[in-house]
Structure 1
Amino acid sequence: MADAPFLAYGRQVIEDDDLAAVAQALRADFLTTGPRVAQFEAAFAEKVGARHAIACSNGTAALHLAMLGLGVGPGDVVIAPTLTFAATANCARYQGAEVVFADVDPDTGLMTADTLAEAMTRIGGRPLKAVLPVHLNGHAADLPALKRVAEAAGAPLVEDAAHAVGTAMTFDNVPERVGDCRHSALTCFSFHPVKTLTTGEGGMVTTNDDALAQRVARLRSHGIVREPADFVDPEIGFDGEAPNPWAYEQQALGYNYRLPDVLCALGLSQLAKLDRFVERRRQLAQRYNELLPALAPLVRPVAQPWTSRSALHLFVVLIDFTAAGQTRRQVMEALRAKGIGTQVHYIPVHRQPYYRALYGEQTLSGAEAYYARCLSLPLQAGMADGDVDRVVGALGEVLGG
């Protein structure tokens, strides 16, 4: 096995039809702000079951656009789980809002109704503008339960679904899909290369609210309005009653968060294969689940909530490093020496120096317990079953050594 290829924890799957789609887009008239953007948005909205989808430059931009769309600003509070990537909290800070970090379940890493309710006790009378549940590792959070708690405080949910494109779930015997926004105002996706489908860099916001969709779409491109019916300055917009063909109005302070046509072409090609990619990830996860009991009790997979049929962006195990007599660094380095890449998802955001300086020291025990044990093993749609056997075998050797 010495010459076996290195297995990263995550990697894109790019096939010949993806290359052909990008090449065709490169030969087209529009490399950006052209027809493939609308095509990708329409196809994605249909796939997840939302009324609207707005493509943008990356997942962080999607989250920021969600905050902009909801009018989050100075003096407001949002609640986000601390067990996530920093962007979930940063998107509110960009707007001058404060972040209250919720703890998570120590075994799943997910924010729960109880941890959300506890976080609400630390708001201190400030207005709660939004709650941002994270579908960690691709596993769906309990949206109905979270919505009940958030709604009682007058706050909408904004789903951080960066890990969860393709995830399905069942609540009250009703099949749903992450992104359909049945319980949330907006859902935000990422198409980074390690995600289940990729556009290189890219993101998407979905919503069922017509006004929110229009606002997010305009803020994605400098807050510019091009529809004559919505112009507010007749001198700029019209020659008599006829609209000026060059006219546009900047009606708000927006950003350049556009996703180019060439990347939307890749997204369309990848989206057509999403079900295959998700099914393959589930098959690989099943193989892990068949083999990992041999390493118990030192190692156990993070369990999926029973409501979630996860797209499995990550395959995470919880390891008792103390009982193994090794640090996580030692385990990761030993695995890397065997050609296996691993990663840690995530350092709790409340422990990051920026947020510690802002809010002081905090103790969130569930997140700390999860972080202390978690390790992301390789999971890619292009992996073979034998690759899983190789990972589990190497992990057993490292922990047994």
Structure 2
Amino acid sequence: MKPIPYGRQHITQEDIDAVVETLQSDYLTQGPKVAEFEQAFANYVGAKYAVAVSNGTAALHLCAMALGVNEESRVITTPITFVASANCVRYCGGTVEFADIDPTTALLDIAKVRAILESKPKGYYTGIIPVDFAGNPVNLEEFRKLADEFGLWIIEDACHAPGGYFTDSKGEKQLCGNGKFADMAIFSFHPVKHIATGEGGMITTNDEALYQKLLLYRTHGITRDPQLLQENHGGWYMEMQELGYNYRMPDMLCALGVTQLQRAEAGLARRKGIAKVYDEAFATIDGIEVLGTSAEALSENGDTGHAYHLYVIKVADRKGLYNFLRQHNIFAQVHYIPAHTMPYYRGLGFKKGDYPESENYYAACLSLPMYPSLTAEEQEFVIGKVKEFVG
């Protein structure tokens, strides 16, 4: 059996043709494909505005900047995430506080967030960054109520969940990144994600003021808009009005994003099909626990809003299974090492034992291969090897 990774991109001839066409056009960056991708993505998630940036980490950083995170800011997020979800606060000089996870879903536990908020006077904390981990959507309606109660903003880290949704209290589907409950949401287009452009990211929001800040910050803080200029010396004139960054996404990657997005629903359906096969295979196997789905991600017809970026199981001998699978060319992966146990965050005062549910999850978790081009034969091979080891 050829190597089976935990995730991988799927590039078609249509993708290649779109990139070649853009390479042969007048624009490689800051051209029309950027706006085309932004509009298409905003439509896909149901948001008013979308801003394409160089990667998901840049998206998080710009969100923190736009919300005014500074040395006085204190922000709560989850330990079970890629470290960028927390690092964006540190980039702006703010303080990170972690809250533990719900052991059933590995999502940020809203009860634990509330306990942290209630331990300090109102105004002590500034914002929350929940993560749609593995593609499982956070119930942002509940987090919005909590945030409003304590005067907080919300950045939704939806890197794992384009096309995912939760069902709100009115029975309506709320797509990840639609901006109804979060101030901003961010996405990543890394090769293992649903939409692969090599590198790239997107910020979505319904707030026009935040949208305008994001546009400014992603391009060095420079504007050429005559309506925003403080002076105007002529057609060449531009002004640097803020300290921004070069976080632009080039046209050729946006061209790839446009064609990838056109297949997003088919890819999501395939991911759900793969997950169903795994679910059925492991349902009665002692020693394998499948990471659960939140109840809010289920619609009335039983469909799940889970976007299945990852398919995570938990086993007692995780390292043994990891090594066994690699011996058979199955390259499963671990997501994630709890952020608070990283040397950098330990240097800020965090320590092992601070968030036991996150650490217990980490000790047992393993992400199995999950990507649309995974064949039925390959998946059955993975299932067979997992069963062989556990049994």
- Would you say same fold, with TM above 0.5? yes
Alignment of 1:200-239 (within 5 A): 200-232=198-230, 234=231, 237-238=232-233
2:306 maps to which of 303, 307, 310: 310
Identity of aligned residues (%): 40
Aligned to 2:302: none
CA contact (8 A) 1:116 1:146 kept: no
Aligned to 2:62: 65
Structure-2 separation of matches of 1:306 and 1:332: 29
Aligned to 1:184: 182
Counterpart secondary structure, 1:61 = helix
2:330 maps to which of 332, 340, 351: 340
Alignment of 1:59-98 (within 5 A): 59-98=56-95
Aligned to 1:290: 280
Aligned to 1:325: none
Aligned to 1:245: 235
CA contact (8 A) 2:122 2:150 kept: no
Superposed displacement of residue 89, structure 1: 0.4
1:273-292 per-residue CA deviation (whole Å, 9 max, x = no partner) reads: 00000000000000001111
1:12-32 per-residue CA deviation (whole Å, 9 max, x = no partner) reads: 111110011111111011000
Deviates most, 214-223 or 118-127: 118-127
1:257-304 per-residue CA deviation (whole Å, 9 max, x = no partner) reads: 0000000000000000000000000000000011112422x0021111
CA contact (8 A) 1:100 1:122 kept: no
Deviates most, 261-270 or 139-148: 139-148
Give the aligned residue type for 2:292: A
Give the aligned residue type for 1:100: E
CA contact (8 A) 1:77 1:97 kept: yes
CA contact (8 A) 1:287 1:385 kept: no
2:349 maps to which of 359, 364, 367: 359
Give the aligned residue type for 1:333: N
Give the aligned residue type for 1:304: T
Structure-1 separation of matches of 2:384 and 2:120: 47
Aligned residue pair count: 382
Superposed displacement of residue 126, structure 1: 6.4
CA contact (8 A) 2:183 2:205 kept: yes
Give the aligned residue type for 2:288: V
- TM-score, scaled relative to structure 1: 0.93
Structure-1 separation of matches of 2:288 and 2:96: 33
Aligned to 1:162: 159
1:384 maps to which of 337, 357, 375: 375
Deviates most, 275-284 or 113-122: 113-122
Structure-1 separation of matches of 2:183 and 2:371: 31
Deviates most, 214-223 or 351-360: 351-360
CA contact (8 A) 2:75 2:95 kept: yes
Superposed displacement of residue 124, structure 1: 7.2
Structure-2 separation of matches of 1:92 and 1:73: 8
Structure-2 separation of matches of 1:124 and 1:99: 17
* Change in 2 beyond 3 A, CA 1:97/1:360: same
CA contact (8 A) 1:80 1:133 kept: yes
Structure-2 separation of matches of 1:373 and 1:365: 13
Aligned to 1:100: 97
Structure-2 separation of matches of 1:46 and 1:348: 34
1:269 maps to which of 256, 259, 262: 259
Query: 1:11 aligned to 2:8?
Result: yes
2:247 maps to which of 252, 257, 269: 257
Query: 1:52 aligned to 2:49?
Result: yes
1:397 maps to which of 374, 388, 391: 388
Gaps of 5+ in 1: 239-243, 322-327
Structure-2 separation of matches of 1:354 and 1:120: 24
Aligned to 2:268: 278
1:326-347 per-residue CA deviation (whole Å, 9 max, x = no partner) reads: xx22221111111111111111
CA contact (8 A) 1:75 1:127 kept: no
CA contact (8 A) 2:139 2:166 kept: no
Gaps of 5+ in 2: 298-304
Structure-1 separation of matches of 2:196 and 2:119: 38
1:4-61 per-residue CA deviation (whole Å, 9 max, x = no partner) reads: 1111000011111001111111101100010000000001001110000000000000
CA contact (8 A) 2:163 2:268 kept: yes
Superposed displacement of residue 125, structure 1: 7.1
Counterpart secondary structure, 2:58 = helix
Deviates most, 63-72 or 364-373: 364-373
Aligned to 2:360: 369
* Change in 2 beyond 3 A, CA 1:119/1:387: farther
Counterpart secondary structure, 2:307 = coil
CA contact (8 A) 1:315 1:376 kept: yes
CA contact (8 A) 1:166 1:278 kept: yes
CA contact (8 A) 2:79 2:338 kept: yes
The runs of 4+ residues in structure 1 deviating greater than 4 Å are 121-126
* Change in 2 beyond 3 A, CA 1:106/1:121: same
Counterpart secondary structure, 1:347 = coil
Structure-2 separation of matches of 1:367 and 1:118: 17
Superposed displacement of residue 123, structure 1: 5.5
Structure-2 separation of matches of 1:75 and 1:122: 18
Give the aligned residue type for 2:347: A
